[in-house]
Structure 1
């Protein structure tokens, strides 16, 4: 069955065991997408979408603190529905990530919309499943439960030396175990791999990802979540595999390295058939005009140069923070776990005698930092392989110094 809206052009047939028509739910393949007013015409006297022709009703003096950025937002055509496709944004993503064309790019309301859509279009409720690799991003399981989708859990390697990465060591992908789980359950339609991982901070090597993509018994799609990819260094991204593999979808976001968590802009990069299916299924105007305006600005050459500078600063600060944490290790901190490829670090809080990670002490430290010292980190000790761990986001130089000072204080108390 053809995919509505997809031109009859040739796309990759690798791997040979994969056919997207066998992955997408039949009702989605048969879907005739909603055609919105802006699909046809974007200019002229627009009397086709029942918008308010007199404009929005927010007076300029209502802007908080008379902020110029707020006034700029009010000057937009907020009474008009936004562009449903946002090709100018996609064109800048194409240039940034070396993607073949805008037909390889989908924009969502954060990566969470992409995750939800992928499950809705690929996985039959109550019948089929996804596979995740704990410890990993919690929204995969949440979305699965919302969509009545089963979850197969194949944990990452939970032992090994702290800081090891690659195909060995703690938090590496257990390729053989994932393949074994796939072989045992043909209802698995999506495999979610978080790289660099959250909360692990460890990048999955491309050869490990390819081992799942090439696995002959897997007829579904591998989804690689690259929210933190810009902190991992060059050649870490799976985007370069998209042209070769029709069964790959790479997710990215403007929330982390771009510093735009508030605008909720997520990205999916895949071959056109899957992108077209996502486009057919999404809400007609999912990306707002203010979000699109800020995203386009963030993807301009000056903004990209600024982003790269901030990444370099945060990466250097990551090294400095790890050194400062090691300097107070005698107070009961273990070495960081994972390979520290993101904008955070994971540090185990040890028992008083320093013999082992201690969830009870870590919880006390976590709460004391937040409630008594104004420093909020994240307790992750209940995740597999993360006992006693606090996840600390890399802050500004002053914030990092405060974290160390307050952590010393609290560790001496508990």
Structure 2
């Protein structure tokens, strides 16, 4: 049985150990997608979709953007958005729009991938590498699929009772982060053992740069997982923060020409600053894109979202995006330097952990006794005091594996950096 809407002659053949049709749930493979009105015709006197022919009813004196009101809001949106996909393919140096899928944020992509590849009812599983993005597990519970956890490990220089260094996939690697040589001495044994022991694992989710770790996974590590012959499923690399780590030069999307068992997720929420429009992206072999397209809701991307995405992908907007990303990268360095100042370290701010490849930093709060041990109770108090008394909202991540006592601080502008650093000091002095 082939994939509906996709020629058998174009099905993937590499890597040799991966057979896409066998990885897909049988009911999804047999699915004939809903065919909507706009799949056939998008112009003319449109009397085929039971739309309101008189147009939208938003009054002109309502405080709404004029450009939005001029959009054909009474018509169902384009179900394919080939123009947006073409621009994304060009931006990410992929062959064409057939390699791109658009979702309602990355969360829809995560959910669809689990519905496409993982049989529910406890029969099949996903594998995650905590600490990581929580929606992988949430979607697994919603879809009634199992979760196997292979924790990342923290290595590098270790202060007495402290944590400094970076998280990584299992791999022997030496990388330079902020002028400090940090050795990551791990191996792929845990992941391969899990896969070898449990053939019901169908998806492996890797977050790179990680959330909350901020660590960019080496392509060599990702390649090793993709090449493991006993894994018959799909590796999903979540690159929500990739633009803060070097963009295309370090993206796993560069491996798509070799590995059809790979899906790379990206988004316009982070680097593009468009979290409100909820546009997630999957980059993959065209056959996987076709399966996702067959399974999605017919009109998942709204017309206002599509219009804003097109504007964001214009040459002028891309230039502005790159400028803002560079500013945030520079501000990330300023935040790290400020957090490492003696005043804060004496008060209990530890060395930031992780790889610092995203638009946030992960910093432990130590106990006030000067032992240098991360203190979850104190960190939670700092988190609440900052938000409730100082008006600065960060994120407590101390309950994540390897993140004891940690606060995740998003990189802001120059004024926001000064505010969080100054008020963090005030709170720590008071505790």
User: What's the TM-score bracket when you normalise by the shorter of the two chains?
Assistant: over 0.9
Please say which of residues 349-358 and 192-201 is displaced more in the overlay.
349-358
Q: Does the Cα contact within 8 Å between 2:154 and 2:167 map onto a contact in 1? A: no
The aligned counterpart of 1:67 is: none
Please report how far the alpha carbon of residue 15 of structure 1 lies from its aligned counterpart in structure 2 after TM superposition.
1.1
C-alpha distance in structure 2 between counterparts of 1:31 and 1:172, whole Å: 45
C-alpha distance in structure 2 between counterparts of 1:302 and 1:11, whole Å: 37
Please report how far the alpha carbon of residue 9 of structure 1 lies from its aligned counterpart in structure 2 after TM superposition.
3.9
1:85 aligns with 2:80: yes
Counterpart secondary structure, 2:340: helix
C-alpha distance in structure 1 between counterparts of 2:307 and 2:185, whole Å: 39
Matches within 5 A, 1:258-269: 258-269=272-283
The aligned counterpart of 1:13 is: 13
Q: Does the Cα contact within 8 Å between 2:153 and 2:167 map onto a contact in 1? A: no
Distance 1:47 1:239, change over 3 A: same
C-alpha distance in structure 1 between counterparts of 2:202 and 2:333, whole Å: 39
| Stretches of structure 2 lacking an aligned partner (at least 5 in a row) | 158-163, 174-181
Q: Does the Cα contact within 8 Å between 1:108 and 1:286 map onto a contact in 2? A: yes
Matches within 5 A, 1:120-199: 120-126=115-121, 127-161=123-157, 162-164=164-166, 167=171, 168=173, 174-199=187-212
| Stretches of structure 1 lacking an aligned partner (at least 5 in a row) | 65-69
C-alpha distance in structure 2 between counterparts of 1:154 and 1:203, whole Å: 17
C-alpha distance in structure 1 between counterparts of 2:266 and 2:332, whole Å: 21
Please say which of residues 328-337 and 143-152 is displaced more in the overlay.
328-337
Larger % of strand: which? Answer: 2
Q: Does the Cα contact within 8 Å between 2:167 and 2:213 map onto a contact in 1? A: no
CA RMSD of aligned residues (A): 1.4
Q: Does the Cα contact within 8 Å between 1:156 and 1:173 map onto a contact in 2? A: no
Counterpart secondary structure, 1:61: coil
Please report how far the alpha carbon of residue 159 of structure 1 lies from its aligned counterpart in structure 2 after TM superposition.
4.2
1:280 aligns with 2:294: yes
Counterpart secondary structure, 1:106: strand
Distance 1:173 1:265, change over 3 A: farther
Distance 1:405 1:375, change over 3 A: same
The aligned counterpart of 2:100 is: 105
1:343 aligns with 2:367: no
1:323 aligns with 2:318: no
Please report how far the alpha carbon of residue 273 of structure 1 lies from its aligned counterpart in structure 2 after TM superposition.
0.9
Q: Does the Cα contact within 8 Å between 1:156 and 1:172 map onto a contact in 2? A: no
Please report how far the alpha carbon of residue 380 of structure 1 lies from its aligned counterpart in structure 2 after TM superposition.
0.1
C-alpha distance in structure 2 between counterparts of 1:298 and 1:263, whole Å: 11
1:372 aligns with 2:386: no
1:224 aligns with 2:237: yes
Q: Does the Cα contact within 8 Å between 1:170 and 1:338 map onto a contact in 2? A: no
Counterpart secondary structure, 1:227: coil
Question: Aligned residue pairs: how many?
Answer: 409
Counterpart secondary structure, 1:186: coil
Deviation per CA, 1:353-400, whole angstroms, max 9, x where unpaired? 232000000000000000000000000000000000000000111011
Q: Does the Cα contact within 8 Å between 1:232 and 1:342 map onto a contact in 2? A: yes
TM-score (norm 2): 0.93
Shift >6 Å, 4+ stretches: 169-173
